[in-house]
Amino acid sequence: MSLAHSLPILKPFREDDDADLEDLITEDDEPLDSLFAEKQQHLLTDSLYSFHWTDRPFLAMANVGLFSDKHLPPWVPDVLVSLDVQAPTEGLLKKSNHSYYLWKYGKPPDIVVEIVSDKRGGEATTKLREYARLGVCYYVIFDPTHRLGKQVLRLYELYGTAYVERVDKRLTKVGLELTLWQGPYKGATECWLRWRTTAKQLVLTGQESQLLEAQARQEAEQRAQMEVQARLDAEQARLEAEQHATAETYARQEAEQRAQAESHARQNAEQAHLVAEQRAQAEAQGRQLEAQARREAEQQFQMESHARQDAEQAHIEAEQRAQAEAQGRQNAEQAHLVAEQRAHAEAHARQNAEQAHLVAEQRAQAEAQGRQLEAQARREAEQQFQMESHARLEAEQAHLVAEQRAKAESHARLEAERRAEAEAEARLAAEAELARLRALLGRQEAPG
């Protein structure tokens, strides 16, 4: 049980008590603290007010008088912290608010910190006994220049009426710990005494909290920008995928149309080949019929010549018949036979002529059909040439589409690589900044 719990309950502080405090010296103008001590005091008090480390009300003061009795001179610790007390919010110029009066706040401070500047301060002797007598729960001696020995930091906890040194530097009853921190504060880089929570988290100053908040906001903005960029990249990738799919669909349609055109061209070519074969066959048949007609005409001409010769012979025989009846009858009979042969020959010639006429008509029809087939073949050849030209154009267009798709894919890959590089650089920058901040806020603690 601490001495504070054994003290009598003091009466509440009243405003009219100011009259009783007029003789008390609560401040003087002697510049006793060093520049380091001034910054160290401010660091310990500022961080407690800037960081949410407890839900209990508290008061933190630096270089302020600690009065235990109106008739005794005060102790002036470098830093004192008192929990479960209400700090004054107005009237700070009143003498009742100049110092820490035990009878006003009803309890001694929970923590007192003394910064050793020379050996004459009595931090390890007189002050150690007096703070224990006043009932201060935790007493801290910070000796950065080793004035009292090799030990830089000492922490004492009150047990009964005496202090016991704590090696772990934990102030468990107030929820704090002590640590030595190497880093910058107000333009000076030194080994500072800092508060730390029981979760090993450094109690930050207002500037450090603002820096962390700014960094957190910047990282959040960077994450938001990266998310927006990622959504934009995803949307662009989706659009490129849709364009790619559309190009593939168009290419497939073009390929199908080209295949259909090639199939139709092959069919037209086969049909033209068949037409050409039919025309060649018709021409060959026409030539055969024409040769046959010429042969038949020659035969007819020979038969007509033979008939004329026979007629001349019949005339001679008629004259001879007239001269000789016997010979005439014989000749008449022979002429009759010849006439019959000639009639047969003329009939046969007429048949040959009719057949030649039919052959000529068939040849004319075959030639007309051949010309029609040739014209149709020319038209089909022209159509085939046009279709082949269209197919070549479609092939070139498909090739251009494929090149565009390849360029789009290459662009997408380049964009993905640039995005990956940007993300990697952002992560590296964030890690470097976080490492720098950690190095700034959590340098290796100096040995206690």
- Residue 204 pLDDT class (50, 70, 90 cuts): very high
The pLDDT assigned to 364 comes to: 85
Residue 59 sits in a domain whose CATH number is: 3.90.1570
The pLDDT assigned to 73 comes to: 92
- The two beta strands, 111-115 and 79-83, are antiparallel
- Residue 2 pLDDT class (50, 70, 90 cuts): very low
Q: Does 121 share its domain with 249?
A: no
CA max distance for the chain: 207
Last residue of a domain, one of 204, 236, 255: 204
Q: Is residue 319 part of a domain?
A: yes
The pLDDT assigned to 76 comes to: 95
With contact defined as beta carbons under 8 Å apart, do 141 and 153 qualify?
yes
Q: Is residue 448 part of a domain?
A: no
The closest alpha carbon to 351, from 297, 291, 305, 308, belongs to: 297
pLDDT in tens, 382-425: 898 999 888 899 889 988 988 999 898 999 899 999 999 999 99
d(CA 122, CA 350): 164
| Mean pLDDT, rounded, for 315-334 | 74
Q: Does 308 share its domain with 412?
A: yes
Q: Does 130 share its domain with 258?
A: no
Q: Does 87 share its domain with 167?
A: yes
pLDDT in tens, 32-55: 578 999 999 999 999 999 999 999
The pLDDT assigned to 445 comes to: 61
More confident residue, 343 or 181: 181
* % of the chain exceeding 90 in pLDDT: 46
Q: Does 234 share its domain with 199?
A: no
Beta pairing partners, 197: 176
Q: Does 89 share its domain with 225?
A: no
Q: Does 248 share its domain with 195?
A: no
The pLDDT assigned to 6 comes to: 35
Q: Does 196 share its domain with 235?
A: no
More confident residue, 431 or 370: 431
Element (H, E) at 354: helix 325-441
Determine what percent of the chain falls in helix, strand and coil, rounding each to the nearest 5. Answer: 65, 15, 25
Q: Does 295 share its domain with 406?
A: yes
| Mean pLDDT, rounded, for 342-360 | 81
Q: Does 173 share its domain with 303?
A: no
pLDDT of residue 370 exceeding 90, the answer is no
Q: Taking the complete model, does pTM exceed 0.75, yes or no?
A: no
Q: Does 265 share its domain with 176?
A: no
The pLDDT assigned to 398 comes to: 85
Residue with tokens 């006994």: 129
pLDDT of residue 7 exceeding 50, the answer is no
The pLDDT assigned to 21 comes to: 52
More confident residue, 355 or 188: 188
pLDDT of residue 308 exceeding 60, the answer is yes
10 Å CB burial of residue 215 (0-12, 13-18, 19+) is middle
Q: Is residue 125 part of a domain?
A: yes
Give buried/exposed letters for 404-431 (b at 16+ CB in 10 A, else e).
ebeebeeebeeeeeeeeeeeeeeeeeee
The closest alpha carbon to 53, from 184, 264, 222, 194, belongs to: 194
Q: Is residue 211 part of a domain?
A: no
The closest alpha carbon to 366, from 282, 294, 277, belongs to: 282
List, as one string, the DSSP characters of 73-140: PPB--SEEEEES-PPP-S-TTSGGGTSEEHHHHSS--SEEEEE--SGGG-TTTHHHHHHHHHT-SEEE
Q: Is residue 216 part of a domain?
A: no
Q: Is residue 106 part of a domain?
A: yes
Q: Is residue 212 part of a domain?
A: no
pLDDT of residue 31 exceeding 60, the answer is no
CA within 13 Å, CB half, 293: 17
Residue 295 sits in a domain whose CATH number is: 1.10.287
Q: Does 431 share its domain with 349?
A: yes
Beta pairing partners, 141: 114, 154
Provide the mean pLDDT of the chain. Answer: 86
| Among 20-24, 92-96, 262-266, the least confident range | 20-24
**Total domain count for the chain?**
2
Q: Is residue 44 part of a domain?
A: yes
The pLDDT assigned to 26 comes to: 45
Domain housing 200: 3-25+33-204
